[in-house]
Amino acid sequence: MWALILCLGITFLIFEMIFPAIFFLNFALAAFICAVISLFTTNISLLAFSFAVLSIISLYTIRPLLVRKERDKKQQSGIEAKYIGKTANAVSKIDKNGGAISIYDERWQARTTDDSEIEAGQKVEITGNESIVMLVRKVD
């Protein structure tokens, strides 16, 4: 019996890989725990009840934690996490029409959001981006 329930858990894991929604993972976890329980009992009613209860508990406790962690990880990736708020060096004169900065040994197009001008060699703070153009302000 335990082998059948273990196969059910593996099937749920495969579904989770195909349809990544952190949904089938809860059922896989419940199935794996039920496989361990089935080593001690062969009562199918008890195993079905255990699977249902464990699935519900997992859906209401573990899933929200995993979804929140996944959402936080997505928010901290990309340009926002790596560049925004960081200090860079002005490679050329920067004004509202353009210029260039250097950060992490990378050269980026940059411009100011106001009418100020930043001379080459000065420190700037990256305040935002528009596509691949960094928006900067002079660091005082």
- Report the pLDDT value the prediction gives residue 129, as an integer from 0 to 100: 85
DSSP 8-state secondary structure symbol assigned to residue 10: H
Q: Where are the domains of the chain?
A: 2-75, 79-138
pLDDT at 73 over 80: no
In tens, the pLDDT along 18-50 reads: 988 888 999 999 999 999 999 999 899 999 999
Beta bridge partners of 134: 110, 129
pLDDT at 86 over 60: yes
CATH superfamily assigned to domain 79-138: Nucleic acid-binding proteins (2.40.50.140)
Quote the pTM value: 0.52
User: Residues 66, 32, 22, CA angle at the centre, nearest 5°?
Assistant: 25
**Nearest to residue 122, comparing CAs of 137, 107, 105?**
137
